[in-house]
Amino acid sequence: MEQKSTFWKSAMIYGLYIGIFFTLFSVLLYVTGQTTNKALGYISFPLYALAIVLAQIHYRNSELNGVISYGQAVGFAVAAMLFSGIISALYTMILYSFIDPGLVQQMKTIQEEALMQKGMTEEQVDAAMSIMSKMMTPGYMSIMGLFGSVFIGTIVSLVSSIFVKKLPGEDAFDEAMEEVKTEE
């Protein structure tokens, strides 16, 4: 029972750290007028991966005495990203609802221009924008951000957990070398 409470508490704390970090990153993009810059948005993906790996390693070493299974590592990362996603969803809702509601319209305009550059007809652009307008609301973007965060956490942790996992007895070589050193 002790381990479960440690799991959720640690996942919440690391999710909070990751969420605050990425919220500050988003604020920095907003303040510099780069909120709609896709290239800078892509920088967040390797940063998410790094944050997940660091959280998994720290959880393994500080809470689980250096031992974690593949499943525990995946579960921890997904749980941490759930809490991170909650923080990000709250920020998204506040930004697009209260701080700068006009930002949604800017995003719609950018999308419309991108569709026209692809050679779509006016009718096709109008139809696509009609569908996108329903999805480009603060509430919908917040919910999708939350699911996106959990999805990213799942994908990254499925790979990172391969390298982070450490089972009891995996340090057999190190233990044998210690025995050799003490015999000398």
Per-residue pLDDT tens digits of the chain, which is 184 residues long: 445 568 999 999 999 999 999 999 999 999 998 988 888 888 989 999 999 999 999 999 999 999 999 999 999 999 999 999 999 999 999 999 999 999 998 888 988 998 999 999 899 999 999 998 889 999 999 999 999 999 999 999 999 999 999 988 766 566 666 777 777 6
- Per-residue pLDDT, 13: 97
Task: Quote the pTM value.
Answer: 0.84
- Which of 113, 52, 105, 115 has its CA nearest to residue 81? 52
Would you say 59 and 122 are in contact if contact means Cβ atoms under 8 Å apart?
A: no
All structural domains of the chain with their residue ranges: 2-100+138-166
Which amino acid, 152? I
- With tokens 């009891």, the residue in question is 168
Please list, residue by residue across 137-166, b when 16 or more beta carbons sit within 10 angstroms of its beta carbon and e when fewer do. Answer: ebeebbeebbeebbebbebbbeebbeebbb
Query: 103: which residues sit within 8 A by CB, 6+ positions away?
Result: 35, 95, 96
Q: Compute the distance between CA of residue 80 and CA of residue 56 in angstroms, rounded to an integer.
A: 9
- Give the ranges where 32-101 is alpha helix by DSSP (H): 38-42, 44-63, 70-94
Q: Compute the distance between CA of residue 6 and CA of residue 78 in angstroms, rounded to an integer.
A: 15
Would you say 48 and 116 are in contact if contact means Cβ atoms under 8 Å apart?
A: no
How many CB atoms lie under 10 A from the CB of residue 25? 15
